[in-house]
Structure 1
Amino acid sequence: MNIDLSGLLTGYLASISLIMAIGVQNAFVLKQGLKRQHLFLTAFTCSLCDSLLIVMGVLGIEVLTNDYPVLTQILQWGGALFLVGYGLRSFWSVFHPHILVASLESPGKSTKMATLLALLGFTFLNPHTYVDTFLLLGTIGAEQEPHEQIFFMIGAIAASATWFFSLTYGASKLSPLFKNPRAWQILDTLMGCIMIGIAIGLVI
């Protein structure tokens, strides 16, 4: 089988343009990088989940949501509640920035299981993940010729891995800046607004 560079490039560019948009998943990944907590687990989990959704979308699993609209409602309300919870947690952190500053000095404070569960929540309880990664990329991939779809998926998955590993490890280099409590207050305020805003948008 010849390598289809056009399919690879199409998948890579389509994926990276969607994944780079500011959202709750990227905000959480950024925070993990700044705290230098479980960097590989964070980047690998996000990349793996994205890969699964990309493959499922391209292969046509989006038909399931058309046949069972109740799944969309469950996603909508479940995702909204999850985002509100983490949004309120971010606002709480605004008034306790010293805790996060201290966590930079003790990166093992958060357990791997807690991090993994949060990442899975931000991925599979976030309807925007399904819209971007599952439906949009799936639709673009499904429009490719059958022999091009495999290369589209490879390109899209490569873009996801590139982004999440770059964001996680790149953010870790900014940790010295976030030893200032004011920096954490600004970041948590922005994260809280993003999460609550998306949650309101979902229910409206």
Structure 2
Amino acid sequence: MKYLLQGFTMGLAYVAPIGLQNLFVINTALVQKRSRAVITAMIVIFFDITLALACFLGVGAIMEKSKILELGILLVGSIIVIYIGYGLIRSKGVMEKTADVNIPLKKVITTACVVTWFNPQAIIDGSMMLGAFRASLLPEEGVNFIIGVMSASATWFLGLTLFLSIFKSKFTDNILTWINRVCGVVIVLYGIKLLYSFIEIVKGY
């Protein structure tokens, strides 16, 4: 339960900051009927979860074969995580309502795939962050952790879609800014935890 919750909070803090996926979901929820917005959210969730699994399992599997690589990923990953969090704390959210979301379902799937899988920064950040966490967890702990991460993705995108469809007029730039700040603090704390794991492993040698 501990690692499930840890994965959920980490996943929530990572997926919540406003990026390409969130802007696409937000724009859809603001201009489309609720049923279409929910379908869009489910499509985005699918691609987000597959990316999370690829980042967690792929990098983690490679690290299991090299202790030096494991230490390197932990160190670099912790620094990147702290940097990402610090950047979010300083960032300002901006509502973007001009994106074209009135598109066929086939194009919705294509767009969701592009904003997720063809975003180099998301792949790099996801690999470093989730790969670093796998390096600090036992196999059974890792299973619960990634389930938590996937649950966070579904909870966030569906929750965001339903919230926006009900309270469209209440969602402002200021709310987005505070979402980024809160998530930034959580990510910084997790980055510090990863750095501590690196130090503990080094002490063990």
The aligned residue for residue 138 of structure 2 is 145
TM-score by length of 2: 0.58
Kept in 2: contact 1:15–1:137 (CA 8 A): no
Deviations 1:159-194 (A, max 9, x none): 01000001122212244679xxxx9xx9xxxxxxxx
Kept in 1: contact 2:51–2:116 (CA 8 A): no
Measured in 2, the distance between the counterparts of 1:135 and 1:52 equals 16
After superposition, residues 1-204 of structure 1 pair within 5 angstroms as 5-36=1-32, 38-61=36-59, 93=98, 109-175=102-168
Measured in 1, the distance between the counterparts of 2:126 and 2:5 equals 16
1:165 is matched by which residue type in structure 2? Answer: L
SS for the counterpart of 1:52 is: helix
1:162 is matched by which residue type in structure 2? Answer: T
Measured in 1, the distance between the counterparts of 2:133 and 2:43 equals 24
Measured in 1, the distance between the counterparts of 2:54 and 2:135 equals 11
Pairwise CA distance, 1:60: 2.8
Pairwise CA distance, 1:13: 1.0
- The 1:142–1:51 alpha-carbon spacing in structure 2 relative to 1, beyond 3 Å, is farther
1:31 is matched by which residue type in structure 2? Answer: N
**Percent identity of equivalent pairs:** 28
SS for the counterpart of 2:17 is: coil
The aligned residue for residue 87 of structure 1 is none
Measured in 2, the distance between the counterparts of 1:113 and 1:30 equals 19
TM-score by length of 1: 0.58
- The 1:133–1:168 alpha-carbon spacing in structure 2 relative to 1, beyond 3 Å, is farther
1:50 is matched by which residue type in structure 2? Answer: D
Kept in 1: contact 2:4–2:146 (CA 8 A): yes
Measured in 2, the distance between the counterparts of 1:29 and 1:52 equals 17
Measured in 2, the distance between the counterparts of 1:43 and 1:119 equals 9
Q: Mean Cα displacement is larger for which, 110-119 or 127-136?
A: 127-136
- The 1:116–1:154 alpha-carbon spacing in structure 2 relative to 1, beyond 3 Å, is same
2:26 is matched by which residue type in structure 1? Answer: L
Pairwise CA distance, 1:134: 3.4
C-alpha RMSD over aligned residues? 3.1
Deviations 1:111-147 (A, max 9, x none): 1112111111111111232134333123213321111
